A and B are shown apart, each in its own frame.
Chain A
Amino acid sequence: MLVDAIRAEGFRLTKNRTALFWSVVFVPLLSVALGALTSFVLKSGQTKLLEGAKSPELAEMMSRATLDLASAMVSAAGGLANPLVLLFVLIGAATLYAGDYRWETWRLISARNSRPNLILAKLTVVAVLALAAMAAMLVGSLVENLIRAGIFGRGLIFNLSGEQVGQFFALSGLSWLRIVQFTMVSVLAAVVTRSLLAALFVPLVIGVAQFFTPQMLGPMGVMPDAWLSILLNPGAAHDAIQATITRAPAAAALPAGLVLKAWTSLGLWTVVPLAGAVAWFQRQDLSKE
């Protein structure tokens, strides 16, 4: 039953080229284009710098510099849940979550499957959509680095240590969870309001509000590492967990217990909106989708 619903949702998404383009293809294309443009501009500046310095040592040093694609990919995995990706994956997610209200198609599919299955199928397909968007971003990052190497004439190496493999998968998994978590508010908004616009904008408004929670809570004496701060801001929770995975200098300064709070925050922001959406949908009259 759930499998039927997942297959149907997946099929439907593959036919929605507009949603797929904006959710999966657009951001990597933009990244590659902007990256190439930036490289050209820097190359132009570098050439002038070298000409001005007339330093054969500097020129030799820069030409010897190599680009480690493995490190670049690990770094890219850490940035997969950036605001641009969140925004554009949300377009596809909102279309999936609210599409049956918008096109009045619940009546076609809801009689032959349980309502929780129908919502969980959408969630599963959004999770796969997030993976596809991340894969496209990684490919885009790879292409961007190759272009940069070509422009600067730098050599390419691929030095992947065991630790980097672990970091890559941990960061990718964390980014995936953050993207999926971000869309959970969208499914709740879609079910409660039956509106595609609400499914798109409610998570954005909440996301922006969460970004400013430290500034709002600070004057009230709530510290950034307090339970309240972390619970209200899953973005900060994601950043804290990411710092521990990359063992960034910031990780050493993290207060004890922060990671537990961060996982709790991400977990709650994933499960609670989903449970709310399922419970609401279970009792919802579909007299007018």
Chain B
Amino acid sequence: MNAVIEIRDLTKTYGTVRALDGLSLSIPRGGVYGILGPNGAGKSTLFRILLGLIRPSDGTARVMGGAVGDIAAMRRMGSMIETPRYPPYMSARQVLEWLALSHGVGKTAEIPAWLDRVGLTEAADRRVRGFSVGMLQRLGVAAALMSKPDLVILDEPTSGMDPPGIQEMRALIRSLADDDGVTVILASHQLLEVQKICDRVAILNRGKLILEGAVSELTAAGGERLWLSVAQVEAALAVLGERGARDDDGVMAAIARDEAPALIRALVEQGVDITEARWVGTDLESIFMTETGAAEASRGEQTHAG
């Protein structure tokens, strides 16, 4: 079995709203898989269906080879969706003890190690009612991983975390996939984060899959561009013509590699001071904006035509 998640024609409607609209998706075993999409794309609905919290209106979903609700299959999965909440009278340690019992793990001796791994050792015996969102997220990640699952679903795992916390979480997620062989599925609005840690991504919009593939392939397909840090942006854009675009404190040049020396000479001759130059691929953010924008435009045209 190569796929950990198999989804066929999955539809979920809430009244007249179609949160998922005939979604089909196969998520392969291994690595980190990102689910992207704007608000209302259907990410949380998809996760809730995969966890058995809600029933699909139509279609099927299989998790770890079993139907959703197959407890043996579901017990091979850990999850944290949205900002987790816990009984407020419990400490972080007690939350993990409670969930270990509930999940049939029973290995409470490992709880200190998990608290340490998510950076909550010092807060282990504090009641969770006083925890920040970031601390709740960390505890949620520990709870999701504690049972040593084969598949982990994480919804916005770095939400509310400070920059060092985000870096630690990225490292943890990558090590889960690389060192422990766990398949990680995550949803995030932070596209830079997704690009850094995901191997494959699926982009959803209005409950439909609009793009799926390996991050490296998607970003390479958009072609390379030369980014130049220049003091005289207008002069540089004049030289580049239609192939140039303003980009933060520099310009982005859509040229081939063998054109670079001539371009740089031309810029210098026009009095443009170049302080830095590097080749960049198409980033996930531009792909995301392009694809979701195109989907919206297509939808708008259809609506207009209808």
- Complex Cα spacing A104 to B98, Å: 15
A38 at interface by CB-CB < 8 Å? no
Write the A1-33 contact mask toward B (1 if CB under 8 angstroms, else 0): 100110110011001111000000000000000
By a CB distance below 8 angstroms, the chain A residues around B86 are 103, 105, 108
Among residues of B, the one whose C-beta sits closest to the C-beta of A114 is: B71
Write the A261-289 contact mask toward B (1 if CB under 8 angstroms, else 0): 00000000000000000000001011100
Contact across chains for A108 and B54 when beta carbons are under 8 A apart:
no
Among residues of A, the one whose C-beta sits closest to the C-beta of B89 is: A16
Contact across chains for A11 and B98 when beta carbons are under 8 A apart:
yes
- Complex Cα spacing A16 to B55, Å: 32
Contact across chains for B55 and A285 when beta carbons are under 8 A apart:
yes
- Complex Cα spacing A106 to B103, Å: 13
Contact of B52 among A15, A104, A110 (CB under 8 A): A110
A109 at interface by CB-CB < 8 Å? yes
Among residues of B, the one whose C-beta sits closest to the C-beta of A283 is: B55
- Complex Cα spacing A106 to B89, Å: 17
A54 at interface by CB-CB < 8 Å? no
Known: A106-B53, A285-B54, A287-B53. A18 touches B89 (CB 8 A): yes
B194 at interface by CB-CB < 8 Å? no
By a CB distance below 8 angstroms, the chain B residues around A16 are 87, 89
Q: Which of B72-80, B166-174, B209-217, B290-298 contacts A (4 or more CB under 8 A)?
A: B72-80
Contact across chains for B71 and A109 when beta carbons are under 8 A apart:
no
By a CB distance below 8 angstroms, the chain B residues around A15 are 87, 89-90, 94, 98
Question: Chain B: interface secondary structure?
Answer: loop
Contact across chains for B71 and A113 when beta carbons are under 8 A apart:
yes
B104 at interface by CB-CB < 8 Å? yes
Known: A108-B84, A285-B53. A4 touches B102 (CB 8 A): yes
Q: Separation in Å of the B98 CB from the closest CB of chain A?
A: 5
Write the A109-126 contact mask toward B (1 if CB under 8 angstroms, else 0): 111111000000000000
Question: Chain A: interface secondary structure?
Answer: helix
Q: Separation in Å of the A287 CB from the closest CB of chain B?
A: 5
Contact across chains for A103 and B85 when beta carbons are under 8 A apart:
yes
Contact across chains for B87 and A12 when beta carbons are under 8 A apart:
yes
By a CB distance below 8 angstroms, the chain B residues around A285 are 53-55
Contact across chains for A1 and B71 when beta carbons are under 8 A apart:
yes
B97 at interface by CB-CB < 8 Å? yes
B48 at interface by CB-CB < 8 Å? yes
Contact of A4 among B53, B77, B101, B143 (CB under 8 A): B101
The number of residues on chain A lying at the interface, defined by a beta carbon within 8 Å of a beta carbon of chain B, is: 28
B230 at interface by CB-CB < 8 Å? no
Contact residues of B between 52 and 109, Cβ < 8 Å to A: 52-55, 71, 74-75, 77, 79, 81-82, 84-90, 94, 97-99, 101-104
A214 at interface by CB-CB < 8 Å? no
Of the listed residues B14, B45, B55, the one surrounded by the most CB atoms of chain A closer than 10 A to its CB is B55
By a CB distance below 8 angstroms, the chain A residues around B202 are none
Q: Separation in Å of the A140 CB from the closest CB of chain B?
A: 25
- Complex Cα spacing A109 to B82, Å: 15
Contact across chains for B87 and A286 when beta carbons are under 8 A apart:
no
By a CB distance below 8 angstroms, the chain B residues around A109 are 99, 102-103
A247 at interface by CB-CB < 8 Å? no
Contact of B102 among A99, A112, A283, A287 (CB under 8 A): A112
- Complex Cα spacing A105 to B51, Å: 13
- Complex Cα spacing A249 to B62, Å: 65
A64 at interface by CB-CB < 8 Å? no
Contact residues of B between 1 and 16, Cβ < 8 Å to A: 14
Q: Separation in Å of the A196 CB from the closest CB of chain B?
A: 12
Known: A15-B94, A287-B48. A104 touches B104 (CB 8 A): no
Among residues of A, the one whose C-beta sits closest to the C-beta of B97 is: A11
- Complex Cα spacing A107 to B80, Å: 8
- Complex Cα spacing A286 to B54, Å: 6
Q: Separation in Å of the A124 CB from the closest CB of chain B?
A: 14
Contact across chains for B85 and A104 when beta carbons are under 8 A apart:
yes
Known: A16-B87, A105-B87. A113 touches B102 (CB 8 A): yes
Apart from the given pairs A16-B89, A111-B51, A112-B71, 20 other A-B contacts in the complex at a CB distance below 8 Å:
A1-B71, A4-B101, A5-B102, A7-B102, A8-B99, A8-B102, A103-B86, A103-B87, A104-B85, A105-B87, A107-B48, A107-B84, A108-B99, A109-B99, A110-B53, A111-B53, A111-B74, A113-B102, A287-B45, A287-B48
A: residues with CB less than 8 A from B are 1, 4-5, 7-8, 11-12, 15-18, 99, 103-114, 283, 285-287
B: residues with CB less than 8 A from A are 14, 45, 48, 51-55, 71, 74-75, 77, 79, 81-82, 84-90, 94, 97-99, 101-104, 143, 147
Mind listing 10 A-B residue pairs with CB under 8 Å?
A1-B104, A4-B101, A5-B102, A15-B98, A107-B51, A108-B84, A110-B52, A110-B53, A111-B79, A287-B45
